Structure 1
Amino acid sequence: MKLNRRASSLLVVIAFLQAGLAQGGVSADEAAQLGTSLTAFGAEKAGNASGTIPAYSGGLPTNTTPPGFKPGSGRWTNPYPDEKPLFTVNAENLERYRDALSETGKEMFKRYPNYRMDVYPSHRSVAYPAWVLENTRKNATSARLIKDGVALDGAYGGIPFPIPKTGNEVLWNHLLINTGVAYDAYATLWSVDGSGRSVKWAGHFTFQNSYYDPASSAEEHKKSGSFYHQHVYNWSVPAGSSGFAVLDTQTLDPTVEPRRIWDYDPATRRVREVTGLPPDLGLGSLGSLVTFDQDNLFTGPLDQFDFKLLGKREMLIPYNTHALFFETPAERILTPGHLNPDFVRWEWHRVWVVEAT
């Protein structure tokens, strides 16, 4: 078969464009690092040179009834109840630790001179079920980004990119963090204004993540719509939001099945589908204090930003904050300007840093 020069050039351009639209999947040799120099989910297994980050030794046991746990309480047991801070970062020693802080952390010290971070021993407590780790190993060579990184293909039931190469791959790892197949909870959120006045927002939350269903498969998941996240929120507090309900669904390919949101307004007694939703629209059920894409740090489609992977850093981040979430009443946590530092646990950890423009 012969091709003229123009036709062959066109094929080269098409191949180049297709390569730009689909990326991911490391080589088998690179994937072999999983479980050796890297953990089975892609983190560096060794500790750091300074000793502030320990080697990974398997994480907390995947026991659903740890000592002290009360079934039905909704409150997980603190595995490190007797530990004390190793040191504190404050305005006096800030320069020594500046490189370990996020931009937000630096800003907090600028705005609030009495702000502090109590730094505890680091514990690499993350642990996943064996089937999630096995799927992660498969995803390492099969997962790929398509449609300029907005959609995901070839991944199921595990971390999609345990050895990420791009910002979009890190974001997909974040969107598909393992939260189990489903959970049901009564959740409480608080907003605090500049004077320190707090408002309670609370309701019933139901969450389903069909991407992590061990009884399913990648093929069955695709047949059912490729949902990775289905949330139902039913607000009961404050009075102005009582009875307001939202169903939020998201898929692995929002270009085919876009994010869909339905809400029920008790004032009109109507259910409506919210279409063409801008991701930076204020979430009405939370008084528009946060936007739709701010849930869980970031959620929603990735087409509104350019995500650039800046690399991996050793940083101080909130970690193992069981006391904050499960043991301390809100009136002790909520202080003007920021959370009460007495109840926030900071640890050294390696993190991927992504810049979103």
Structure 2
Amino acid sequence: MITTALAYIAATAVYASPNSADIAKLGSELTPIGAEVAGSSSGGVPAFGGAVMHAPTGWSAGAKPVDPYSREKPLYIIDAGSADQYKDRLSPGQYALVKSLPGYSMAVFESHRSCGIPTVVAEQTKKNASLASLDGEDRLTAAVGGGYPFPLPKSGAEIIWNHKLRYNGPSVETYVVNVIPPKGSKGTDFGEVQLYLDQLYFPMASTSVTSPTEVGNVESALREQTLAPPSVAGDGVASISYIDKPTEANLYFSAQRRMRRAPNYQYDAPILNTDNLITADVAWMFNGAMDRYDFKLIGKRELLIPYNTFSLYDHTLKATDVFQGEFIKRSMVRYELHRVWEVEATVKAGKRHSMPKRVFYVDEDTWTISVQDLYDSSGKTWRTMEGYLVPEYSLGTCFLAGSTIYDVQAGRYAGQSIVAASGKPARFSNDLKASDFSADAFRRWIGR
């Protein structure tokens, strides 16, 4: 059931900065980045265990993940027959999926608030609490790097900015898998595996940044090369997402040895080779410009979301261990009860988007969108997404290890940017810089 928002949430369109009493709660009643420290009254959500993450015995950076909760058994399993009993812990999209997709279920485990907060992130976030601001178009105008901009959010847009600037370190390289099973796929038939090399750059992760203008108002940058299947191997995309203007993108087609600018490769433009199941701005649950939506903060609630999904971070697995025709194998996904912020996005007057309404459910401990429901023009549930959070001990917090989008109406799904079965682990570094994502640099990189 949706609960009342925290007392400091305002209900007006213009928001004052948090006062000193609110800011003093960070690190006491609230975690250093703004989550409630206390557990829930129901006992389903435990108290926050601390900002420092402790790697389990046997863990080594880059090796097969060690799951400290692997011996736990599900508390209960939700399927079509029991969904009504747990409806208040499901989003409308989750509920529709469980009820409509034969064989789909959700195994629910004990909750663990396992995502840490690096000390420097806590320090920078506290600075932002009294500093960060948005303009009237929901563009970030002030913030220091290395922290979350809005630990005490007063609007839906502020929460989405926390997701967009969630801490991943300055740069990350991942080998990731997409799977787009053909319509009607069942069992072991899930189509061909798409393998990608992604390199991402996050200039606002640097603690030396005192204003977004210092990094050219760049929010993030991506360069990606397709490694499989052979028919499109060598193709790629480079994009730069800006704080104050639309995304810039370039596409490279290896068969033609040709690169072209793609100014429309954003918002609801379909991602190449995804059969229209994945659009540009659902990558990483949400990315890119926010100017087509109004974002309304609904409040907080408890929700069953994927959490501690070590299996989907295991690069050593095979695709047949992870995927099947109808959905991600149910044994791969662990669900836990956590508190989330609920934000409703509706298309602005005079704007257009193929998804006129979206509802985001944002994990309070990481500011990561963990579940998203997408609605069609008639207001019916169209699609639902889930993102896979996993502790990354070398980073000191949790990382989004991929996502899945389920088309409830069509009975199809697409797995996107999933680390499992990719063959190589994620690598976090400080290797990349803005100039690596220019058109010329991208051409040299992908043609090497």
* TM-score normalised over the length of structure 1: 0.86
Residue 9 of structure 1 corresponds to which residue in structure 2? none
The superposition leaves residues 253-295 of structure 1 with CA deviations (integer Å, 9 ceiling, x where unpaired) of 22xxx32111211132122222244511111254543111110
Match of 2:204 among 211, 216, 222: 211
Residue 239 of structure 1 corresponds to which residue in structure 2? 230
Tell me, yes or no, if structure 1 residue 30 matches structure 2 residue 22: yes
Give the aligned residue type for 1:180: G
Name the structure where helix makes up a greater proportion of residues.
Answer: 1
Deviation at 1:303, TM superposition (A): 0.9
The superposition leaves residues 103-140 of structure 1 with CA deviations (integer Å, 9 ceiling, x where unpaired) of 22111122124322111110001112111101111111
Determine helix, strand or coil for the equivalent of 1:123. coil
State whether residues 17 and 130 of structure 2, in contact with CA within 8 Å, keep that contact through their aligned partners in structure 1.
yes
State whether residues 24 and 144 of structure 1, in contact with CA within 8 Å, keep that contact through their aligned partners in structure 2.
no
Give the aligned residue type for 1:313: R
Residue 259 of structure 1 corresponds to which residue in structure 2? 247
Mapped partners of 2:326, 2:141: distance in 1: 39
Mapped partners of 2:196, 2:106: distance in 1: 31
Determine helix, strand or coil for the equivalent of 1:140. helix
Determine helix, strand or coil for the equivalent of 1:239. coil
1:114-125 mapped onto 2 (5 Å cutoff): 114-125=103-114
Residue 274 of structure 1 corresponds to which residue in structure 2? 262
Structure showing greater radius of gyration is 1
Structure 1 unaligned blocks of 5 or more: 1-18
The number of residues matched between the two structures is: 330
Determine helix, strand or coil for the equivalent of 2:240. strand
Could you tell which deviates more after superposition, 335-344 or 317-326? 335-344
Could you tell which deviates more after superposition, 78-87 or 22-31? 22-31
1:168-317 mapped onto 2 (5 Å cutoff): 168-193=157-182, 194-196=184-186, 197-214=190-207, 216-219=208-211, 222-254=213-245, 258-317=246-305
Tell me, yes or no, if structure 1 residue 158 matches structure 2 residue 147: yes
Structure 1 residues 183 and 277: CA distance shift in structure 2, 3 A: closer
* TM-score normalised over the length of structure 2: 0.69
Deviation at 1:184, TM superposition (A): 1.3
Tell me, yes or no, if structure 1 residue 68 matches structure 2 residue 61: no
Determine helix, strand or coil for the equivalent of 2:46. coil
State whether residues 244 and 285 of structure 1, in contact with CA within 8 Å, keep that contact through their aligned partners in structure 2.
no
Structure number with the bigger relative contact order (C-alpha 8 A, sep ≥ 6) is 2
Deviation at 1:356, TM superposition (A): 1.5
Residue 4 of structure 1 corresponds to which residue in structure 2? none
Structure 1 residues 277 and 343: CA distance shift in structure 2, 3 A: closer
Mapped partners of 1:248, 1:285: distance in 2: 17
Residue 328 of structure 2 corresponds to which residue in structure 1? 339
Could you tell which deviates more after superposition, 221-230 or 261-270? 221-230
Give the aligned residue type for 1:117: M
Q: What RMSD in Å do the two structures reach over aligned CA positions?
A: 2.1
The superposition leaves residues 154-176 of structure 1 with CA deviations (integer Å, 9 ceiling, x where unpaired) of 34221111111111111111111
Residue 131 of structure 1 corresponds to which residue in structure 2? 120
Tell me, yes or no, if structure 1 residue 41 matches structure 2 residue 52: no
State whether residues 52 and 118 of structure 2, in contact with CA within 8 Å, keep that contact through their aligned partners in structure 1.
no
Identical positions, percent: 33
Structure 1 residues 325 and 24: CA distance shift in structure 2, 3 A: farther
Name the structure where strand makes up a greater proportion of residues.
Answer: 2
Give the aligned residue type for 1:294: V
Deviation at 1:23, TM superposition (A): 4.5
Determine helix, strand or coil for the equivalent of 2:192. strand
